[in-house]
Structure 1
Amino acid sequence: MGAALFAKYPDAVATADRVLGYSVTDLCLENADQRLDRTEYTQPALFLVNALSYMEKLAEGGRPDIVAGHSLGEYSALFAAGAFDLATGIALVKRRGELMARSSAGGMAAVMGLTESEVAEVLRAEGASTIDIANLNGPNQIVLAGPREDLLACKEPFLAAKARSFVSLRVSAAFHSRYMADTANEFRVFLRDIRMSPLQFPVVSNVDALPHEVETIADKLVAQIVSPVRWTETVRRLMSLDDPQFEEVGPGKVLAGLIRQIQKVSEPLAGSFLGRASNETAPSPGLAPQHRAALENVHHGQNDTN
């Protein structure tokens, strides 16, 4: 992952190495000690590759009108819009990953083939009050979080309710749920020293599927840790724009597939929301001037259940 980009953007890689205290190139391309399987290493690596992918996209000409990212990808989207520079972004995801790695409370499972309301009804019927909805990835793809035993106990009821599948995820904790409250509180303390810059174009928040305001970016990033990722709602809002064109930037095409599913069966969520974002037009921190041309209606994201 990132091999060609690392060689093309050595200054950015050097910045990441300095902040992290280790070589991202060795981590991604060698990974002899399997550190990349651990979220405290996965998150900075994914963020850097996403950031370099975005810089490469800009080098090809243009910039997006609006951006969004799934979970960790929200940090890539905020970097793209100029909320913080590369070094700050690396520091943010490094601390986020470290804090999340400390949590071992619970797990996650994906329910395929049921809607959000159908999933909620099964949880209600089973009295599964310990289970939270963590990711609303698509109309029929819902991720749950909670105690592992309680999740497993729900498998048969979901299959009986005609779920296509119920899959336990390989994650270390119940991310995007109430069980991450301590992690969120510690991250809030870290964010007190981080200054966010005006956004050059709108960034849609995972928490409420509305554009970030610079004054509340930190609060929303804290809330994201304990809140469901509202990806379906995000895409439906973007679908309400005039002839939206979606493009996934970075490794993989998971989000592109989810977007196609949402567009196929969901109606746009009415109401324009672009006016809430800053009209700041300064260049992105750390990006060369030639990277500023317009690229219309590109929506950026990287899927990551952490």
Structure 2
Amino acid sequence: MHCLVFPGQGVQHKGMGDGLFARFPQETVAASELLGHSVVELCRDDPGGRLADTRHAQPAIFFVNALAWMDLARDGRRWDWFAGHSLGEFNALVAAGMLDLMDGLALVGRRAELMAEVTGGAMIAVVGPHAERVEAMLRGAGLNRVHVANHNSDRQVTVAGERPQLALAVKVLRGPGVRVLPVPVSGPFHTPLMAAAGRRFASVLRGFAFRSGHTPVMSSITGAPFEPEQAVRLLSRQLSRPVEWVRTVRALRAAGVDHFEEVNGSTLTALLSRIADGPAGTDGTPATGLAALVNQPAAAARATEEHV
């Protein structure tokens, strides 16, 4: 079985979408009108470094993801499952027929605005220890305003929270066999500190229609198939709950997926060989070798960029 996965924020770069906009002129014009600026100029030129701003990055990534999927699908390509990492889940819902493209773009735009309003936070990537160990170290140090935000692989998580406590968390977490890397975001995304923004986003979501699709989507929050009636609850909680990418990949494999393909980069496929089919051993070594599932090579450092 084949699954197409969609990345989230962190994959944006100057020149992304090159060649896609000309192949989908009607959609590109409609997207620019909805956003109030030229999506082509934003992605091609990155004027003023706006792609570093989540308010611009999220809609741009969503739209380029969507065009990349449409470009594959127009050649008759079909998949058995879809999944997306955080923001990418909106693309998965569009691809599955559960959400209209322009509705998805409008939702992502509003999502980005609400997330940008929560300031004073930051995020780090932690490579080495398991998520449970990271949580234990944070709580043991009395740090209750920082949280594990993304479970990206068996030995890679991101931690987000308020800047003062996050600075202390860096000191607590650093040690032999542990790498701590900054992630360029301005908010404590995917933590309880985003709860108010999540509630506001729920009100926005209630104004949009979700329907039964033609292809299943695996939720990156629950690691279970996404149901349209859960849309408001799951997509709003996405802002304040950790992204369970490890659980999602394991659930897809358990459902029979043996081939993963990614649009707009290779961040997620690069993580596959670092996710065991079941719980990792005490030393963190995956139980089975899964390198054959990685369709596109990528450096480990690139994989740490996927965060929103």
**Counterpart mapping for 1:190-205 below 5 A:** 190-205=204-219
Whether 1:267 aligns to 2:278 is: yes
Unaligned runs of 5+ in 1: 270-296
Name the amino acid aligned to 1:104.
Answer: T
Q: Distance in 2 between matches of 1:304 and 1:267?
A: 22
Deviation at 1:154, TM superposition (A): 1.8
Contact 1:72 1:304 in 2 (8 A): no
Would the alpha carbon gap of residues 268 and 85 (structure 1) be closer, same or farther in structure 2, given more than 3 Å must change?
farther
SS of 2:144's partner is coil
Q: Distance in 2 between matches of 1:124 and 1:94?
A: 34
SS of 1:196's partner is coil
Q: 214, 221, 240: which is aligned to 1:207?
A: 221
Q: Distance in 1 between matches of 2:36 and 2:90?
A: 20
Deviation at 1:156, TM superposition (A): 2.5
Structure-1 residue corresponding to 2:96: 81
Deviation at 1:112, TM superposition (A): 0.4
Tell me how many residue pairs correspond in the alignment. 272
Deviation at 1:54, TM superposition (A): 0.4
Contact 2:147 2:161 in 1 (8 A): yes
SS of 1:111's partner is strand
Structure-1 residue corresponding to 2:285: none
Contact 2:253 2:277 in 1 (8 A): no
Q: Which TM-score applies when normalising by structure 2?
A: 0.84
Structure-2 residue corresponding to 1:225: 239
**Counterpart mapping for 1:172-187 below 5 A:** 172-187=186-201
**Structure 1: 4+ residue segments shifted above 6 A:** none
Structure-2 residue corresponding to 1:294: none
Ranked by relative contact order (alpha carbons within 8 Å, sequence separation 6 or more), the top structure is 1
SS of 2:31's partner is helix
Q: Which TM-score applies when normalising by structure 1?
A: 0.84
Structure-2 residue corresponding to 1:254: 267
Whether 1:30 aligns to 2:35 is: no
Percent sequence identity over aligned pairs: 38
Larger strand proportion of the pair: 2
Name the amino acid aligned to 1:242.
Answer: G
Q: Distance in 2 between matches of 1:109 and 1:4?
A: 33
Over the residues paired in the alignment, what is the CA RMSD in angstroms? 2.0
Structure-1 residue corresponding to 2:170: 155
Name the amino acid aligned to 2:154.
Answer: P
Name the amino acid aligned to 2:267.
Answer: V
Would the alpha carbon gap of residues 248 and 33 (structure 1) be closer, same or farther in structure 2, given more than 3 Å must change?
same
Unaligned runs of 5+ in 2: 1-15, 281-292, 296-302
Q: Distance in 2 between matches of 1:9 and 1:200?
A: 23
Of 45-54 and 13-22, the range deviating more from structure 2: 13-22
Q: Distance in 2 between matches of 1:53 and 1:122?
A: 41
Q: Distance in 1 between matches of 2:146 and 2:250?
A: 26
